[in-house]
Structure 1
Amino acid sequence: MKGKIAVEGSLSNIRESLMKDGFEVADLNNNTMKNVDAIIVTGADNNMMNMSDIQSKAQIINAKGLSAEEVKNELKNRLV
């Protein structure tokens, strides 16, 4: 399943790979967090850009240490 994915700015290699595979990719910010199927971040310990009051039903994927291919596999498993 392809979906809309918000990607943290520093993950340009993952962003490009997802776009090539047909995912709709958006920048991770306050406006996109509520309207995406998944959020890709570099680490879960940084409190999502200090936005603790934002609620989202999106899948959160910590891309720290993962290749673009591993992130895509995680998305395919979670967005069924």
Structure 2
Amino acid sequence: MSRVGVEESLTDVKQALQQKGYDVVDLFSMEDAANCDCCVVTGLDQNVMGMTTDVPGGSVIQAKGRTADEVCQEVEERLGHSS
């Protein structure tokens, strides 16, 4: 299954993705993001961790104003998986 990097504060998103079988890792740096197929960030800070554009090999999803289910759905769509 795909590896998804999630900002540490997004506990509900991490749990939802883990329940769907994703390999979820905490994002602490761009090096962490580089090893992920997709990254989820809070979107609360402009240019959080320098990830305003696609990370190598993946994409960035902003979770601001969205439910964990909405974020999971976008992860699935971007990675070509369906639940």
TM-score range, shorter chain: 0.7 to 0.9
Amino acid at match of 2:41: V
Determine the C-alpha separation between the residues in 2 that align with 1:8 and 1:61. Answer: 11
Q: Which runs of 5+ in 2 are unaligned?
A: none
- Give runs of aligned pairs for residues 1-80 of structure 1, distance below 5 A: 2-30=1-29, 31-43=31-43, 45-50=45-50, 56-80=56-80
Find the residue that maps to 1:17 and give its secondary structure.
Answer: helix
Instruction: Count the aligned residue pairs.
Output: 77
Q: Which runs of 4+ in 1 moved over 6 A?
A: none
Amino acid at match of 1:24: D
Determine the C-alpha separation between the residues in 2 that align with 1:69 and 1:45. Answer: 22
Over aligned residue pairs, what C-alpha RMSD do you find? 2.0
TM-score of the superposed pair, with normalisation by structure 1: 0.82
Q: Which has the higher contact order (CA 8 A, sep 6+)?
A: 1
Structure 1 residues 23 and 45: CA distance shift in structure 2, 3 A: same
Q: Which runs of 5+ in 1 are unaligned?
A: none
Determine the C-alpha separation between the residues in 1 that align with 2:13 and 2:59. Answer: 16
Find the residue that maps to 1:72 and give its secondary structure.
Answer: helix
Deviations 1:32-77 (A, max 9, x none): 111101100011753122578xx52311000001111101110111
Determine the C-alpha separation between the residues in 2 that align with 1:69 and 1:58. Answer: 20
TM-score of the superposed pair, with normalisation by structure 2: 0.80
